Structure 1
């Protein structure tokens, strides 16, 4: 019994040992398999070192050269300007370290300069410059008026001076003594409060304004010369013909210029305007930036492409870190999984800021296309901006639905949400992980699809070049100039006609009374003038015999006064009646001289004969068809709103204020707009004489 038991026990122990060894072997095999899997799955990550911090990278660059110019601003600060920055830095008299970086990559300039100084371990003047000017400066272990120099360059220079000129002014003040630098800063601040510095350069909108003004002057000045000269010749002929021969010597007028001389003057004026505009508006560029070379324009894309050949995730070393080690590992795992998936492929992620002064002018798709060309491998190219947090993805040569990737990518991925806006890293790790999930779910196509071909960015020369002076708004300016010349001609003609009318000598032998026509005549003036005009008509009618029209008008005027001319001088006579007497008397005297016209100025009957019927503005909103004299006709053409103030206004019947003559009475005076003959008929109807 014991032997049997011993045998069974030995057999059990033997099986147990065999089973234990089997478990150990299987465990070892699993461990070896897992080790081999991870070794083949992520060989690149095992060999890739963690990217340096922003301060560490910049300190290494300053260790190589005390002036570092980024390759991300070729349109504003080409890397070739490093020699100019170095030359200016030597003027300070102290060790000077200069960093030229995009403003979008710097969160706190003072803190960055301090971190770079700690990494570099060298005392000196540390200066930070962006694509516009000097933004920060700090002195470590040396005496340099950094703050005063920064203040002076800020207030002394216009906003468009540029980074190089700003740094030059900065070094100029740093080289001064502390007292002089402080005084310079205070003076600059005080001057800026009163008057900001004028811009050094103009932009495209300013050039369009210059072109518009040039066009106006180029047609307005010569055309004004031609029109005014022609009008002057016409006025001279008419004025000279109206002067009596006995007065011509006293009223001698200057001789008119020959037509050829007028045309030559206009042509010379046009040439002078063109030459002057070319000299005064001679700017050809909107900034003082040196044009970058092709190598400078492609330097950033080549740098990023070289990094992506080693690691599918490239972090810009000039920018703050936005992905920690855990987020980077997670992103690499997702990229590896997508590369091995059906219809997937390589994914390249570039964490690089996109600025308007970069080679792609801030166009992420254009930058992705340039990097794809440099890398030479098809795949999904992702551009994540660590400055503003935007994400753009473009597929080149993979079997992915490119339209969905371009147009259906959620805004939470491309732009982020409120949480991303409030976070320093814009939650890029979380959003890039969501992007990889979106790529996994993107439908595959039967064949590879080429990525979009974005329009090329404008060349730096075109970006800074101004339009030609004789282009853009120059052509509309030509038309406006012609209109302005016509308007000037109309106003000048109206003013000249007014002056000549007042100075014109009388040509009629009977014109011995002064011809006046006030807009708001007084009662005494009306009584005095009515009596004088009626007496003159009676006297001249007696001297020159019968004239039917003069007889009718004299009779009508006397009917208004009940046949007694002396009544015109008596107080109490209706002002409308006196105006009618004056108009009839003047029309009768005109009939005696053979210059009769049935029309009388409907704006003011005291103006005398009318020359034409015209729709004129009698109020701000109303028009009437009235006969107008020459002066009122010219005023209606040149300044329609000038007619209402010229209307004859008589005292209101109820007293207080004045009304237009056709509203102040219902007597014969209201018939003036229909002619003198109608006034005579109304007088007869009123008096009952037929």
Structure 2
């Protein structure tokens, strides 16, 4: 082969080689670009999730909407009658819900009803390619249900209205606006403070009401004794009623206050509480910057590349190390209850990699830094990090991305210059997160129930004292104005066994003044005159002395007996002095009135001591049927020499009253003898 031919062949081979190399680089560069990490948009990620399952429940809200609610959403979605896609996401503060649903629909490429929940709230619903009253259904749901109804109950109401059709749904939406335009539906759940109030009220009622029954009955019994009424109910009735009331309150309170939870949220499982931490930890193993795919993008490609470069340089620097950045929202419904420190500790424990853990919230724009194992001065991270980095400034607040890209770059600059220490530093253990089942209310008979018991007892005592004081004052005022006559015709059955001094004064004055007013012809009624004369001798001729304080109770009883006997004599047309009804009154209790016979009766509860006494009809019946009941019916008067003790009337004094068992005539003679009148 000629030399020029060999030269041309070499040149041709060289050109072919150059073309091959050019072709290789031309095809290799786009391939590397295609393999490079490119942020996946929020809408594309959500479209992929809906392609797998028409209901996507985020793992970021386990305390409010756990992922176990997804089957419930799917079941309710069938009631709409059209393909329905449901997204349950954290609050989207920087993204319009309608735009987000539109973008998700475009990427999914399926017509139907798209529904967006932000937390437990129904945020948006849009129909694509189907005709359903989405706007009316949202209106009805927001107006008719309280804010704490929960996502499943809200979606159920939404689906029911969708199933009504356009006209009926529109009419119901208009009716809901008119009904609740100024008012909101009552809350469906109560909080812990409300349960404490219920427990407190239950405790007050459980002691206050029964104690009020006992105190009121005691006061009424005292009032009856003072007014001359006998006890008509057995002694066990009052304590029995109080005990029955307490039992009724104790049994009825759990029925009335039957709430057991403070929220519609279901208790999350341990797997649901750890799902997001595992997702973030797995993402940080692949890339030191993890951007939450369910949240709007806050770092563009340029900012993301620069952040990667800064993290790589810091890791290689003297005293530096790994930096892990989590762009994840921190919400109160998350597994860490919105505590970024707790979240960082959980991710570090799961990832098992030491380094600086940066938690940047794309929702509110806050940045927190936690050191696990690097030789960065702890005080520098705690006190020297500018607020413009951790909290942002006014410009960051106004920006949709909170300027997180620029602030993270400033953070890396600060870390490059931060003082180093001799040994690695570690964050302390954060406080534990709230319990998984934090919405369970405490038992009704707990917390403030015990203080309520004491308050109820004190309130009952205070209220009964106030009522007793008011009634006592009113009674004094009424008695002072017009002392009403005693019901004499009923006294044989209502006379007290242990009368008070005030009762005796009031009754003696009333009986004496009544007899005086009825006495018109003393010449024709010598026996009635004797009664009046003897009664007047006991009060020195002045009826007002009968109601004067300090008058001897025995004297007052004698005045009452003489006055009543005189009134009976005036009312009787016969003048038979031997008539037993006119000469004798009950020797058991002279206030009972006329006697009907004499009878040997027991006069002491101890032993078998008996006396022959005149008895009224009720006392005679008691003496025959229940002899042991007579001592309890004896009129007992206070003995000043024995303090507050009481004795039978014929033993409590040596005055005229001791003559009562021997007849009214003997009582009159005894009075005159005592007064020195013959």
In structure 2, what is the equivalent of residue 352 of structure 1? 328
Match of 1:159 among 144, 147, 161: 147
Residue aligned with 1:397, SS: strand
- Residue-pair matches, total: 477
The equivalent of 2:212 in structure 1 is 224
The one of 447, 450, 467 equivalent to 2:442 is: 467
- Residue equivalent to 1:507: 507
Deviation at 1:218, TM superposition (A): 0.9
CA distance in 2, matches of 1:89, 1:449: 52
CA distance in 1, matches of 2:224, 2:184: 53
CA contact (8 A) 2:221 2:231 kept: no
Q: Which residue of 2 aligns with 1:131?
A: 119
- How far residue 156 of structure 1 moved from its aligned partner, in angstroms, is 1.2
Aligned partner of 1:419 in structure 2 is 395
**5+ long unaligned stretches in structure 1:** 1-43, 241-251, 515-539, 551-587, 598-690
Instruction: State the Cα distance separating 1:507 from its structure 2 match.
Output: 2.5
Structure 1 SS opposite 2:140:
helix
Is 1:304 aligned to 2:280, yes or no? yes
Change (3 A) 1:253 1:464: same
Q: CA deviation at 1:494?
A: 3.1
Mean alpha-carbon deviation: is it higher for 120-129 or for 588-597? 588-597
Do the aligned partners of residues 85 and 425 (structure 1) sit closer, same or farther apart at CA in structure 2, a change above 3 Å counting? same
Consecutive unaligned residues in structure 2, runs of 5 or more: 1-31, 487-505, 515-532, 552-678
The counterpart of 2:311, out of the listed 335, 351, 362, is: 335
Deviation at 1:417, TM superposition (A): 0.6
Provide, for residues 362-381 of structure 1, a one-character-per-residue CA deviation record: whole Å limited to 9, x for no partner: 00011111111121100000
**Matches of 1:132 and 1:67 in 2, distance apart?**
15
Q: 1:479 aligns with which of 454, 457, 467?
A: 454
1:68 match: secondary structure: strand
User: What residue is the counterpart of 1:670 in the other structure?
Assistant: none
Structure 1 counterpart SS, 2:164 = coil
Query: In structure 1, how many angstroms separate the alpha carbons of the residues matched to 2:509 and 2:385?
Result: 96
Q: Is the 8 A contact 2:539 2:545 kept in 1?
A: no
Report if aligned partners of 2:65, 2:120 keep a CA contact under 8 Å in 1.
no
Cα contact 2:43–2:103 (8 A) shared by 1 = yes
Aligned to 2:232: 255
Encode CA deviations 1:414-436: one digit per residue, 9 max, x unaligned.
11011111111111111111111
Give the TM-score of the pair, scaled to structure 2: 0.67
**1:401 Cα shift?**
1.8
Q: Which residue pairs with 1:488 in the alignment? A: 463
CA distance in 2, matches of 1:172, 1:113: 21
How far 1:212 moved relative to its partner? 1.1
Q: Counterparts of 1:197 and 1:444 in 2: how far apart (Å)?
A: 59
Deviation at 1:98, TM superposition (A): 0.9
Asked if 1:435 corresponds to 2:423, the answer is no
Matches within 5 A, 1:155-234: 155-193=143-181, 195-234=183-222
Q: Which residue of 2 aligns with 1:685?
A: none
Q: CA deviation at 1:295?
A: 1.1
CA distance, structure 1, for counterparts of residue 462 and residue 332 of structure 2: 46
2 CA distance for matches of 1:227 and 1:504? 28
What are the equivalent positions in structure 2 for 1:243-282 lying under 5 Å apart?
A: 255-258=232-235, 260-282=236-258
Structural RMSD (CA): 2.7
Map Cα deviations across residues 162-205 of structure 1 (whole Å, 9 max, x no partner): 01111111111111121011011111121212542221111111
Structure 1 residue 357: Cα displacement: 0.5
Q: 1:208 to 1:81 in 2, by over 3 A?
A: same
In the TM superposition, residue 47 of structure 1 has moved relative to its aligned partner by 5.7
- Contact 2:326 2:358 (C-alpha < 8 Å) held by counterparts: yes
Distance 2:392 2:36 in 1: 29
Q: Which residue of 2 aligns with 1:584?
A: none
**Most deviating of 402-411 and 218-227:** 402-411
Whether contact under 8 Å (2:512, 2:543) holds in the other structure is no
Choose 270-279 or 372-381, whichever is displaced more: 270-279
What SS does the aligned partner of 2:369 have?
strand
Matched, 1:283 2:269: no
1:101 aligns with 2:78: no
Q: Is the Cα contact below 8 Å between 1:590 and 1:596 reproduced in 2?
A: no
Change (3 A) 1:407 1:256: farther
Deviation at 1:211, TM superposition (A): 0.8
Q: Map 1:68-83 onto structure 2 (within 5 A).
A: 68-83=56-71
TM-score, length basis structure 1? 0.65
TM-superposed deviation, 1:479: 2.2
Q: Tell me the SS of whatever aligns to 2:507.
A: coil
Deviation (angstroms), 1:106 = 5.7
Q: What is the CA–CA distance in structure 2 between the aligned matches of 1:367 and 1:403, rounded to whole Å?
A: 21
What secondary structure is seen at the aligned counterpart in 2 of 1:129?
A: strand
* Deviations, residues 624-666 of structure 1 (Å, cap 9, x unaligned): xxxxxxxxxxxxxxxxxxxxxxxxxxxxxxxxxxxxxxxxxxx
Residue in 2 aligned with 1:86?
A: 74
